[in-house]
Amino acid sequence: MGRVIVVVDMEGAAGIGHVKECFPWCPEYHKHGVVQLADDVNATVRGLRTGGIEDIFVCDWHYMGQNLSESKLEPHAKLLEVGLVEDLKKFLEGGYDGVVLLCFHAMAGTPNGFVSHTMIPFLKVRVNGQPVGEAALIGWLFGTYDIPTVMVTGDEVSVQQAEKFLPGVSVVAVKKAKNREVAQCFPTEEVRQRIEETAMATAQRLGQYQVHRAQEPVLMEVAFRTPNEADLAAAIPKTKRTSPRVVAYRSEKYLEAYKFLMVVYDLILYSWFGEAMQKLTATDEGKRIFGEWSHQIIEQWMREPQSLWYE
Ligand SMILES: [Zn+2]
């Protein structure tokens, strides 16, 4: 019985002790990171399954969402193709009985949190005046659909933060951060055993967890790396620039504030791609690739059947 969705980040995986293991441009990610991640997911899936959950969905939420492959996962896990960013509505209307936030990390600005951040590097988020991280943001998001967050794993500080915002949630701390780059992992086998047992116990108690909701109306504030980035966000309707690096958004409903945050996320990410693009096109290979792409776009444009409007 029951449907559970496991939202999987990466920084808070058991056995991942260095930031290099979290990103695909580092060999350590391929050699070690993705293996650890899949093992955490599998321990969770086995636990949920033993605890009686029939439908287990997995959402790959880290970086570009290509960190897990179904062939490496327990057969009962269904890897979702849509993410929390791309298709929110479809995602939230899955009719889940609970959400597990697996391998999460502490919020931006936490010095003793392993790879602490909120959504994108440098960004900081406050809700109703209180700094918050991803666990709270996503927990409240599911809360708007009456779905309780039932379990969280991550480093010690990250699970403490999660418990503060999502009271009553079951947690497993898998490591202790030495600093933002390095963590002391607890013995991996033991920790995975704990993840599996906690997932099982959570499944058995499903239905007894409380739904977590942000207090409404909501004041969502975002602080940016630079005033230029804040300029981009300040162009969104209904926003208020409260300082050179801070943009605020007020809404009656949390879901609307979360959607504002998603637009901010896209804007900043695209501005970063712009930065990367400048670097790329400064190289011969980059120029060639960009030239080829531009050529294709122009070709497509020239061949488009002409009409005065799109219906
Ligand atoms: Zn991540």
Q: What is the pLDDT of residue 89?
A: 73
The average pLDDT across 62-70 equals 91
Q: How sure is the predictor about 52, in pLDDT bands with cuts at 50, 70 and 90?
A: very high
CATH number among 3.30.1490.20, 1.10.10.10, 3.30.1360.130, 3.40.605.10, domain 216-304: 3.30.1360.130
Task: Of 306, 227, 231, 296, give the one whose Cα is nearest residue 267.
Answer: 231
Distances 202 to 57, 59, 146, 155 between C-alpha atoms, Å? 16, 19, 17, 19
Q: How sure is the predictor about 1, in pLDDT bands with cuts at 50, 70 and 90?
A: confident
CA of 311 to the centre of ligand 1 (A): 39
CA of 287 to the centre of ligand 1 (A): 31
Sequence ranges of the domains in the chain: 3-117+133-208, 216-304
Compare 64 and 201 and report the one with higher pLDDT.
201
CATH of domain 3-117+133-208: 3.40.50.10780
pLDDT digits (tens, 9 = 90+) for 130-167: 999 999 999 999 999 999 999 999 999 999 999 999 99
CA of 309 to the centre of ligand 1 (A): 41
CA of 214 to the centre of ligand 1 (A): 22
CA of 245 to the centre of ligand 1 (A): 24
CA of 62 to the centre of ligand 1 (A): 4
Task: Of 104, 40, 110, give the one whose Cα is nearest residue 74.
Answer: 40
The whole-angstrom separation of Cα 20 and Cα 39 is 18
The average pLDDT across 30-58 equals 97
CA of 116 to the centre of ligand 1 (A): 9
CA of 104 to the centre of ligand 1 (A): 7
Q: How sure is the predictor about 22, in pLDDT bands with cuts at 50, 70 and 90?
A: very high
Residue recorded with tokens 């931006």: 108
> Average pLDDT of the chain?
95
pLDDT digits (tens, 9 = 90+) for 237-272: 999 999 999 999 999 999 999 999 999 999 999 999
CA of 191 to the centre of ligand 1 (A): 20
CA of 63 to the centre of ligand 1 (A): 6
CA of 67 to the centre of ligand 1 (A): 10
Matching fold, domains 3-117+133-208 and 216-304 = no
Cut 0.85: pTM above it? yes
CA of 64 to the centre of ligand 1 (A): 9
Q: What is the pLDDT of residue 94?
A: 74
CA of 114 to the centre of ligand 1 (A): 11
Task: Of 94, 35, 30, 106, give the one whose Cα is nearest residue 59.
Answer: 94
Of 91-95, 188-192, 238-242, the range with the lowest mean pLDDT is: 91-95
